[in-house]
Amino acid sequence: MALAWAELWPILLYFLFTLTLLAGVMLLSSVLGPKNKGHSTDLPYESGILSYGGARVRFGNHFFLYAIFFVIFDMEVLFLFAWAISLKESGWMGFIEALVFILVLLVALVYLWRIGALRVKAEERS
C-alpha cells in the first residue's frame, strides 16, 4: 500500500492543483467579468453571420456522396502507401495483389461514373 501511495501522490497533487486553478479562474471571471448582457448575447453566432430560419435545414445528398468518396479514396491511399513501404518484402505477389486492388477500385469508379453518381445537379451547385 505504501508503494502505491508513493507512486500516485504526484498525480493526486496535479489533480488537486488543476481543480484549484479551475475554481480560481471561474471565481475570478465571475467577479471581474461584465455584469450586463448585450443585445447580441443570447443570439447564436456562426462565423460572423447571424442565423435566420430554423435549425432543420435540408442538405443535398451530394455532400454525403463527397464524404463517402473521400473516405473510399482516403482508405485507398492508406493501403497503397503501406504497400509501397513494404514493396521489397512483398515481392511480385504483393505487386500483383496491389494491381488487383487498384483494378477493383478502377472498376468501381467507372461504374459510379456510368450510373451518374459523380454528376452534380444544377440546383445543388449553387
- Domain hosting 86: range is 61-120
Q: Is residue 38 part of a domain?
A: no
The tally of domains found in the chain comes to 1
Question: Percentage of the chain surpassing pLDDT 90?
Answer: 21
pLDDT, tens only, 10-65? 899 999 999 999 999 999 998 998 888 777 677 666 666 666 666 677 766 767 77
Contact (Cβ atoms closer than 8 angstroms) between residue 94 and residue 86: yes
User: If you average pLDDT over residues 63-74, what whole number do you get?
Assistant: 79
Local structure of residue 8 (DSSP, 8 states): H
Q: Is residue 3 part of a domain?
A: no
Output the average pLDDT for the chain.
Answer: 81
Q: Is residue 98 part of a domain?
A: yes
In the structure grid, which three cell numbers stand for residue 13, read together?
A: 497533487
Q: What is the chain's length?
A: 126
pTM of the model: 0.44
Q: Is residue 41 part of a domain?
A: no
> What are the CA-CA distances from residue 42 to residues 37, 38, 54, 55, 68 (Å)?
9, 8, 16, 16, 36
Q: Is residue 97 part of a domain?
A: yes
Q: Is residue 65 part of a domain?
A: yes
Q: Is residue 27 part of a domain?
A: no
Phi, psi of 49 (to 5 degrees): -110, 125
Q: Is residue 69 part of a domain?
A: yes
> What are the CA-CA distances from residue 8 to residues 5, 15, 16, 90 (Å)?
5, 11, 13, 47
